[in-house]
Amino acid sequence: MSDKHPALTSFSSDELAFQEAIRNFAESEIKPLVHKMESEQKIDPQLITQFFEMGLMGIETPEEYGGTDCSFTMACIAVEELGKVDASVSVMVDVQNTLVTNAILKSANEEQKKKYLPKLAQEWVGAYALSESSSGSDAFALKLRAEEKDDHYILNGHKLWITSANEAGLFLVFANVDPEKGYKGITGFLVERDFEGFSVGKKEDKLGIRASSTCEILFENCKVPKENVIGEVGKGYKIAIETLNEGRIGIAAQMIGIAGGAYEAAKKYTTEREQFGKPISANQGVQFQLAEMRTKIEAARLLTYNAARLKDEGKDFVKEAAMAKLFASKTAEQVTSVCVDLYGGNGFTNEYPAEKFYRDAKIGQIYEGTSNMQLQTIAKMELS
């Protein structure tokens, strides 16, 4: 999408240069691989190597820990630009930055930061493990049990729908050390892939973001050292809430990326597709649809980057994050649906990009808090 007039997003010169660099990378390096990755349901390993080389896996991480020391807004810019080309790639970079790294930056002790932040910035993919079969929107109905024993904890149970599980070297895992205390027993753990008793289970066969690995992870007497508890024992719920609030802005950025990619594809197609001796874009009905699409995307972008700016400035952003995710995910679904319509019969085949944008958009109203949960958050904060 053209950013000659970025409106109230007001990107700085550094942000605009960063945006252009990511856009060029996505077009030249990622786009040629999208169809192959989609059919193989796997992100190309060489691309992941390039993400690390470009600093995309540690955008907010300070230089002292091997990162690029940029802002949360910059992370959202990267997620949006990648989302215009491939949502699976976008969500890997999003989870790495807005969930896993963000949680460690805010809640880990100095030794944990020194140990894990350089790895996450330079070589390890990270995964965020909260969801279980019994805990989706009711995020704290966790059954993964952590039992204290000598100098470590023993974890037993499993997690579902864990993004980037196949590629991850580090998992931020939430388990309950004392179920009788309810959510006040929830504790965060930094679990390395090669820890004894840990394994990655089956990969889900999904409607969209098919190249992104979404897997079950298993804990069978998994031994986790006490020094790998992140934050305080029994305070994991606070880490989870705070991290998800930030992560929702990242998902909003992914959704405006998907919508933006679909809009550009539709606009190009309508200027090339001729019916009755003229491009279909010459028809007012098509023009109005494109105008509606563009307007909704711009509104979603303003909501998203407003929330990101508030986060960067240390101001309260919870309601704004919920609004951004709610509206951006609805916008992505609406825009991609119209994109398929404008492609006509071609939009229903995988030889054209429309159907993939449409499938990828649906997850935005589900993960990291459903649309109903966002509405609940907004209403609660408005009425309190």
- Catalytically annotated residues: 368
Strands 168-176 and 214-225: unpaired
Of the candidates 164, 154, 23, the residue with the CA atom closest to the CA atom of residue 92: 164
Among 175, 176, 171, 236, CA closest to 198: 171
- The C-alpha atoms of residue 57 and residue 10 are separated, in whole angstroms, by 24
User: Can you give the length of the chain in residues?
Assistant: 384
Instruction: Identify the residue whose tokens are 């949360």.
Output: 72
| Side-chain-facing half-sphere of 93: CA atoms under 13 Å | 32
How far apart (Å, rounded) are the C-alpha atoms in residues 199 and 276?
59
> Buried b / exposed e across 105-143, counting CB within 10 Å, b at 16+?
bebbeeebbebbbbbbbbebbbbbbbbbeebbeebbebe
The two three-digit tokens of residue 10, written as one number:
């007001």
Long-range contacts of 273-280 (CB under 8 A, 24+ apart): 273/344, 280/342
Q: Dump the DSSP string for 173-235.
A: EEEES-GGGGGGGEEEEEEETTSTTEEEEEEP--SS-TTS-EEEEEEEEEEEEGGGEESSTT-
Q: Is the CB of residue 164 less than 8 Å from the CB of residue 100?
A: no
Tell me which DSSP letter residue 286 carries.
H
